[in-house]
Amino acid sequence: MINMSTYTNRDTQKIVTTQEIGRGGEGVVYQVAGRADVVAKIYHADHRTLSRQAKLTAMLTQPPVDRGRAFVPPHVALAWPTDLLFEQGAFAGFLMPRIERSPNLVALFNPVLRRQRFPQADYRFLCHTACNLAAVLAALHSRGHVVGDLNQKNILVKANTLVTLVDTDSFQIRDGVGHCYHCPVGVPDYTPPELQGQPLATLDRQPYHDCFGLAVLIFQLLMEGYHPFTGRPLTAALADVDQLSLHCMQQGWFPYSRNAQVQPPPAAPPFFWLPPEVRRLFLQTFLVGHLQPTQRPTAVTWAQALSRAEADLVQCRHQHTHWYGKHLTDCPICGPQPKVSTNVLPSAKATKPMSTASAAATKSQGGISGCLLSLLLMAGFCYGGVIILMLARNGLWPCLVPALLIMGLTPVIRQNLGPLTVRSCRLLATNLWRFWQWTWAFCRWLAPRIGQGGRAAYAFWRSRPPRVKELTMAALLIALLVTVSYCNSAPGRLNRASVTSPLPTPMMTSPLATPTTVLSDKE
């Protein structure tokens, strides 16, 4: 639709709008004649208020730093107003940079849409996009502004991981004298729990409120689009709760942490796939931040952590499109997947079993918890230590070799049998098979060398003169006699029974000494 209308800017220059390119509840966006770098947003008549004009004026006087403008080609990270438009002297709208048509964030974190719109996107792409989003939000917060209505639809993503925040005229803006122009709207899924149900139109929001929505968006990017508070109820009382994710958000029940109310969805990626630092920031946001909102990680902290996490990613040896954190031993996508639990609530409706989500933050699903397994291992260590001490005191040193071998393999056993899942059993079987292959290969390598060494030693012995042979045999016989004589004179060195269970020792007496009288308990 073409609308050839004429407006003026603050310098009374004429601005002519032409083709309509977008329409919303507040106004219409048009192309500008002779200008390919900007577009015009013209408000509907009922939205052309003095307060909106004052807010846009404050945005023009307090713009954030957009570092994307220095890129080649330049990138607009914030669709910030550049000028005001007037119609016959009355406020009508504003000019803003023209943004390249790009999909919003939903098309990236949704796996199905991502394969269609971003076929080249791998885990590095997702991590870098999340880092860029945090960096743009940090630049906005540095000027005292807050998005307020931070959600997946007002964030556009390009094929090079660069992001753009749009609908900036709805942001919460602070002018140079401390006046606040509020953001009147908000999406519940990205609004922090302390603001749920509050009058947003009159509420002064802070950067840590934005950081809650930022953490939700980063979680969705790194966890295949799952909302961090989407989970499976573990109690019958929660089975019929409407909007369970919002209820968990308000209660502070993070499904990927240890709790008795909810667990992650069965198909969600395990929480331990994320790098440790990123996991810690999520727990700080959703658990610590629930009680102390000011303790949520800032956008700068997120950007730095995600940059380090991206630098630590490892490429899969089998599938070059797979990337994973270096804290994992193998590619989690190529490796065997853990079996999900089959426990379902009797009264739950259309619920599915829950997978083992996090080895670090959730309980094991296999029957024996990690805490109980740790106690059993501690008891085994203590019992093994006592056995080793008894073997040592009785001189049975050869028996210590298998005992020490078992103690050395204990961490491997705990690592493989900890979750007691099919994946762990397969991993243990694989390790045992590899150990057997290595042992067999070592024996095959060692056997001919032992035979060769024995034959060389036998040939060397046969080539010695008879006198040398006689002296050698005599020396060995003398050494054997000395050893037997020493053992007979000091039997305690081979038999420690007198130490562990000493016999009553008689009192030493002599012709010149009188035995000491032993007092009884009665005396």
Q: Which residues form the catalytic set? A: 149
**Do 170 and 186 form a contact (C-beta atoms < 8 A)?**
no
Q: Hey, how many other C-beta atoms are within 10 angstroms of the C-beta on 407?
A: 15
**Pairing state of beta strands 262-263 and 180-181?**
unpaired
Residue pointed to by tokens 């001919």:
448
**Which tokens sit at 126?**
């997702």
Helix (H, G, I), strand (E, B) or coil at 44: coil
B/e letters for 254-280, b = 16+ CB within 10 Å, e = fewer, are bbbbebebbbbbeebbbbbbbbebbbe
What is the torsion angle, in degrees rounded to the nearest 10, for the CA atoms of residue 409, residue 414, residue 420 and residue 424?
-60
**Do 190 and 212 form a contact (C-beta atoms < 8 A)?**
yes
**Do 349 and 241 form a contact (C-beta atoms < 8 A)?**
no
Residue pointed to by tokens 């073997």:
391
What residue type is assigned to position 127 of the chain? C
Q: Distance from first CA to last CA of the chain, Å, rounded?
A: 118
**Do 417 and 424 form a contact (C-beta atoms < 8 A)?**
yes
**Do 161 and 128 form a contact (C-beta atoms < 8 A)?**
yes
| Cα separation, 212 vs 299, whole angstroms | 10
**Which tokens sit at 417?**
């049998």
What residue type is assigned to position 34 of the chain? G
B/e letters for 178-211, b = 16+ CB within 10 Å, e = fewer, are eebbbbeebeebbbbbebeeeebeebebebbbbb
Residue pointed to by tokens 């979750």:
419
Q: Hey, how many other C-beta atoms are within 10 angstroms of the C-beta on 413?
A: 14
Using a 10 angstrom Cβ sphere, with 0-12 exposed, 13-18 middle and 19 or more buried, the burial of residue 9 is middle
Backbone angles phi, psi at 81, to 5 degrees: -60, 145
**Do 29 and 39 form a contact (C-beta atoms < 8 A)?**
yes
> In whole angstroms, what separates CA 388 from the centre of its chain?
40
Q: Hey, how many other C-beta atoms are within 10 angstroms of the C-beta on 53?
A: 18
